[in-house]
Amino acid sequence: MEIIETVEAAHAFAASNRQRRVLVPTMGALHHGHLELVRVARKAAGPDGHVSVSIFVNPLQFEPGADYDRYPRTAPADEDACHEAGVDLLFRPSPTEMYADDRSVVVEENALSAKLCGNSRPGHFRGVCTVVTKLFHLLAPHAAVFGEKDFQQLAIIRRLVRDLNIPVEIIGVRTVREADGLAASSRNQYLSSEEREQAAVLRSALLEAADLARNGEASATRIVAAVRERIGSASLARIDYVELVDADTLQAQQQATRNSLVAVAVFFGKTRLIDNICLQ
């Protein structure tokens, strides 16, 4: 596995490598959810293709007061995990390598990012779009793999490549879960034992929403209310949002359809967790 840490080395890699290249962008603190993305990337690359993982804790996507400074950084373990997973290239730049001190250009999406997590985390998706655009320019992948747990992020990146004509195929991967249903996340390690136990309520609440829709309930108000009530049964849960939206546009819906998505963001202590389910 090759490890590079500079923009110059990334450009050189993209210029010299003629294989099918698939990128898995991450912020590190890799877990089995990330490794599933790598597995899908390897399949998408094909037997002669090339899989890259980027690890970069992007300061632009952390709003003031967020957890940038305490975000887990586990470089040696991440390197070992990538090596064992058969990653071909690990791109691990520093913030000073990625951003000039006097940077003045960002990439911003203004429709899909105006709701859900965009309301709670102003500027977050501006940072995501900016760094993803830079990674695509630097490493020039043919495809990139993202998890569906961050459903809004995935939708925005698909819009990004469409609207800016970036020739990168975006591959979404189903959410990887722990045994009790909690979505795998680097932030799960912030949870106390009691918070971690109660966090499983997110999945059970979403499954209740899906059951209601499957049994004929179409009212967004009633479905959202049921999800909020179930989450509220966990004493440590503090709801940021529960919304029923169209899975393509992320616009709020009054009636559930086969293309509806229920998305939630909930705090357990200082840790904010997100999850979603499609009502098919």
Enumerate the active-site residues.
34
- DSSP-based three-state secondary structure for 13: helix
Taking the C-alpha atoms of residue 13 and residue 139, their distance in angstroms, rounded to an integer, is: 7
> Closest Cα partner for 243 from 125, 145, 127, 114?
114
The token pair that represents 36 in the structure block: 């599933």
- DSSP-based three-state secondary structure for 26: strand
Taking the C-alpha atoms of residue 239 and residue 223, their distance in angstroms, rounded to an integer, is: 15
Taking the C-alpha atoms of residue 272 and residue 266, their distance in angstroms, rounded to an integer, is: 6
> Closest Cα partner for 250 from 276, 224, 272?
276
> Closest Cα partner for 25 from 45, 54, 65, 4?
54
Compute the chain's Rg from CA coordinates: 19
Outline where the chain has alpha helix (H): 7-16, 32-45, 75-84, 95-98, 117-120, 124-139, 151-163, 193-199, 201-214, 220-232
Cα angle for residues 167, 25, 6 (degrees, 5° grid): 90
Taking the C-alpha atoms of residue 126 and residue 2, their distance in angstroms, rounded to an integer, is: 30
